[in-house]
């Protein structure tokens, strides 16, 4: 930012402090951020449509089947080149990177996140990457919210709130579902649902939805018309669908995690691109509905028109047999997560929300189709209703967001006729899937590192503490061979500390020597040259390993050991000490920071 702009900003901030109360200013920023989030959603969607229209030219159409193989590879190559040559910085996965910024970076997101996904996500999806656009849209909007808060010097709590408002705005604009957007922000980002947070989320959602209406009119992403209302006779089948949704959710998550681990083992990015891109091209060539986001397939299923979905099937067989249709649809359920994982593994930028809805719609549809075709029951199920409710079941199972699932489908259907089946399927799917997959795709890596933000305020505050600012390193080091004379003259006399770390020549931690250990002999000059540190030192009451232990682990160590100071080991070497008093002081200050607006 140039100097004149800094002067203008400084003058504006001074004027704002005098004339606009903090709460009203947050409301204004929420509206602006909602508008920008809506524009981000519109821009990303239109760029994808532009790329796909270019790829649907007459020349390409003549060779279309062959190009199903090569398009994804081209798109992923462009993404990698732009990452390496233009951005030159790490691009985190949408929502997980946002959650990490909230939990460990005080709500500060890199500026390049505001525009990187605007380029990379459309290239990934436009060229056929089998991922969604919701994650990149949310992450881009969240980065705008974070950097807007940084621009106006707002505190950590307000930054987090504006990130949530941006996320809500993004989801509201994509699905034209403002209530769902608020629930999504609270459920996924663990925001506190208070009036102080509700109003900014509401304002952002409204502005984003209005932006979407301005550009797209009444057109919606998911087209669904309720043809049959809920019947009590369907309850048993919705319970069964909940169990099936949970099973598919567990399969989806497990396969995703395993393939993600496999691709992480390939350290060379170009090898990842080749392996993932070629495999993705092959699977899309044989299963064309896996090309891109898949909302065209979802809408065909919601209309009950599956012929366009299966016309280019892997076996090139006619779809006049119901069992062939069922087999092909089950194939879509099985291979969607594989195609999604290949896209991410090859370096693509996208989200998991779209693939979840795709898998859920097919799961619900094929379940109802099997029940109807077997004729075991006189009662016939609504294929489209079960497809719609199936999406909620997979969202609850894969994303662990049952409330978001319920409200999204309720808003899309334009009423609450399906509210009871939505609650049945979502709750069953969530409960079962949660048992076998404790953390969803957004949360897993953060949870394993102890960096996952939750609704537990105490844990959140502990997690937000910056260990590097708590660790004290200004201690005088002692060595085993040092005499009592050296301890007194070189350490005790020159330090205000009452404990000293003992290390070897390689800085390996050996033990601790405290003033209490030498108090009775400290002034006995006869022992000065005969007693060494090695004979006086003792083991530490417990040890903190910098790379391994979370702040919550550290607090538990203080409780169990009864110590007031614990040594910190970093990369196998002595690093410093953490005192209980310093830790608790930092906790209190952080608690004040994150609970004040």
Under the banding of pLDDT at 50, 70 and 90, the label for residue 62 is: low
- Cα 157 from Cα 142, distance rounded (Å): 14
Under the banding of pLDDT at 50, 70 and 90, the label for residue 324 is: confident
| Residues 364/139, Cβ–Cβ less than 8 Å | no
Residue length of the chain: 597
Under the banding of pLDDT at 50, 70 and 90, the label for residue 416 is: confident
Residue 360 confidence (pLDDT) = 95
- Cα 455 from Cα 336, distance rounded (Å): 32
* pLDDT tens digits for range 369-402: 999 888 777 778 889 899 999 999 999 999 988 9
Q: Are strands 509-514 and 543-545 parallel, antiparallel or unpaired?
A: unpaired
Per-residue pLDDT at 555 exceeds 90: no
Under the banding of pLDDT at 50, 70 and 90, the label for residue 289 is: confident
- Cα 188 from Cα 259, distance rounded (Å): 24
Q: Torsions phi, psi of 508, nearest 5?
A: -75, 135
CATH architecture of 459-594: Roll (3.10)
Candidate from 57-66, 378-387, 411-420 with smallest mean pLDDT:
57-66
Residue 145 confidence (pLDDT) = 92
Structural domain boundaries in the chain: 3-216, 232-451, 459-594
Candidate from 60-74, 110-124, 125-139 with smallest mean pLDDT:
60-74
Per-residue pLDDT at 477 exceeds 60: yes
* pLDDT tens digits for range 485-519: 888 888 888 888 888 999 998 999 999 998 888 88
Considering 100-109, 476-485, 555-564, the range whose residues carry the highest mean pLDDT is 476-485
Of 17 and 409, the one with more pLDDT: 409
Q: Name the residue among 240, 266, 161 with its Cα closest to residue 425.
A: 240
CATH number belonging to the domain at 3-216, selected among 1.10.1760.20, 2.40.70.10, 3.30.565.10, 1.10.3080.10: 1.10.3080.10
| Residues 181/172, Cβ–Cβ less than 8 Å | yes
Q: Sheet holding 565-570: strands in order across? A: 543-545, 565-570, 573-579
124-128: average pLDDT: 90
- Cα 370 from Cα 44, distance rounded (Å): 37
Residue 318 confidence (pLDDT) = 56
Residue 434 confidence (pLDDT) = 92
Per-residue pLDDT at 285 exceeds 80: yes
Q: Which residues contact 460 (CB under 8 A, 6 or more apart)?
A: 103, 190, 453, 454, 594
399-409: average pLDDT: 90
With b for 16 or more beta-carbon neighbours within 10 A and e for fewer, the 183-214 pattern comes to: bbbbbbbbbbeeeebeebbbbbbbbbbebbee
Considering 312-316, 414-418, 577-581, the range whose residues carry the highest mean pLDDT is 577-581
Residue 503 confidence (pLDDT) = 92
Under the banding of pLDDT at 50, 70 and 90, the label for residue 69 is: confident
Averaged pLDDT score across all residues of the chain: 85
| Residues 295/362, Cβ–Cβ less than 8 Å | no
This model's pTM is above 0.95: no
Domain 232-451 has CATH 1.10.3080.10: yes
β partners of residue 568? 544, 576
Residue 474 confidence (pLDDT) = 87
Q: Name the residue among 369, 348, 225, 354 with its Cα closest to residue 289.
A: 354
| Residues 227/382, Cβ–Cβ less than 8 Å | yes
Under the banding of pLDDT at 50, 70 and 90, the label for residue 585 is: confident
Under the banding of pLDDT at 50, 70 and 90, the label for residue 451 is: low
H or E segment and range at residue 543: strand 543-545
Q: Name the residue among 45, 384, 30 with its Cα closest to residue 178.
A: 30
Q: Torsions phi, psi of 562, nearest 5?
A: 75, 10
Residue 307, burial from CB neighbour count under 10 angstroms (0-12, 13-18, 19+):
exposed
- Cα 175 from Cα 293, distance rounded (Å): 14
Under the banding of pLDDT at 50, 70 and 90, the label for residue 1 is: very low
Candidate from 52-56, 209-213, 452-456 with smallest mean pLDDT:
452-456
Per-residue DSSP letter, 453: -
- Cα 368 from Cα 352, distance rounded (Å): 25
Whether 232-451 and 3-216 are alike in CATH topology: the answer is yes
Give percent of the chain with pLDDT exceeding 70: 90
Residue 462 confidence (pLDDT) = 63
261-265: average pLDDT: 91
Per-residue pLDDT at 455 exceeds 90: no
Per-residue pLDDT at 252 exceeds 90: yes
């Amino acid at each position: 930012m140039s100097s004149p702009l800094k002067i203008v900003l400084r003058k504006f901030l001074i004027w704002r402090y005098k004339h606009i109360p903090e709460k009203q200013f947050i409301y204004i920023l929420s509206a602006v951020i909602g508008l920008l989030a809506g524009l981000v959603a519109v821009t990303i969607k239109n760029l994808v449509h532009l790329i796909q229209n270019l790829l649907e030219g007459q020349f390409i159409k003549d060779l279309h089947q062959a190009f199903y193989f090569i398009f994804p590879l081209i798109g992923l190559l462009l993404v990698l080149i732009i990452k390496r040559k233009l951005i030159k910085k790490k691009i985190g996965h949408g929502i997980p990177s946002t959650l990490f910024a909230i939990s460990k970076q005080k709500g500060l997101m890199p500026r390049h996140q505001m525009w990187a996904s605007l380029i990379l996500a459309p290239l990934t999806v436009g060229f056929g990457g089998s991922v969604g656009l919701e994650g990149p849209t949310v992450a881009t909007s969240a980065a705008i919210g974070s950097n807007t808060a940084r621009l106006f010097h707002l505190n950590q709590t307000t930054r987090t709130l504006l990130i949530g408002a941006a996320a809500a705005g993004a989801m509201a604009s994509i699905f034209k579902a403002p209530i769902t957007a608020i629930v999504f922000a609270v459920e996924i980002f663990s925001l506190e649902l208070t009036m102080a947070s509700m109003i900014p989320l509401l304002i952002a959602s409204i502005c984003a939805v209005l932006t979407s209406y301005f550009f797209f009119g009444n057109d919606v992403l998911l087209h669904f018309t309720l043809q049959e209302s809920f019947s009590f006779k369907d309850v048993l089948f919705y319970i069964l669908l909940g169990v099936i949704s949970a099973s598919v959710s567990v399969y989806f998550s497990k396969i995703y995690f395993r393939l993600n681990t496999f691709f992480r083992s390939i350290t060379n990015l170009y090898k990842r691109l080749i392996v993932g891109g070629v495999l993705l091209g092959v699977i899309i060539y044989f299963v064309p509905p896996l090309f891109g986001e898949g909302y065209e397939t979802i809408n065909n299923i919601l209309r009950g028109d599956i012929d366009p979905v299966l016309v280019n099937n892997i076996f090139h067989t006619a779809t006049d047999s119901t069992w062939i249709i069922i087999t092909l649809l089950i194939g879509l359920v099985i291979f969607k997560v594989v195609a999604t994982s290949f896209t991410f593994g090859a370096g693509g930028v996208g989200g998991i929300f779209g693939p979840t809805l795709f898998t859920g719609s097919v799961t619900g549809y094929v379940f109802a189709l099997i029940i109807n075709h077997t004729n075991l029951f006189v009662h016939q199920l609504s294929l489209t209703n079960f497809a719609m409710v199936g999406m909620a079941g997979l969202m609850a199972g894969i994303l662990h967001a049952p409330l978001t699932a319920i409200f999204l489908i309720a808003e899309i259907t334009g009423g609450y006729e399906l509210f009871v089946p939505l609650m049945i399927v979502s709750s069953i799917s969530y409960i079962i899937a949660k048992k076998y997959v404790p953390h969803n795709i957004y949360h897993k890596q953060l949870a394993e590192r102890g960096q996952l933000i939750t609704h537990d305020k105490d844990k959140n505050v502990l997690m937000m503490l910056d260990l590097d600012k708590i660790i004290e390193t200004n201690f005088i080091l002692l060595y085993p061979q040092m005499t009592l004379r050296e301890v007194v003259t070189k350490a005790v006399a020159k330090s205000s500390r009452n404990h000293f770390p003992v290390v070897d020549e390689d800085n390996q931690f050996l033990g601790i020597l405290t003033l209490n250990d030498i108090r009775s002999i400290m002034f006995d000059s006869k022992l000065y040259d005969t007693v060494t540190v090695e004979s006086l030192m003792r083991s530490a009451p417990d040890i903190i390993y910098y790379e391994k232990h979370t702040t919550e682990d550290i607090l538990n160590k203080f409780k169990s050991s009864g110590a007031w100071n614990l040594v910190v080991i970093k990369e196998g070497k002595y690093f410093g000490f953490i005192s209980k008093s310093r830790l608790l002081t930092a906790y209190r200050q952080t608690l004040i920071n994150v609970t004040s607006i």
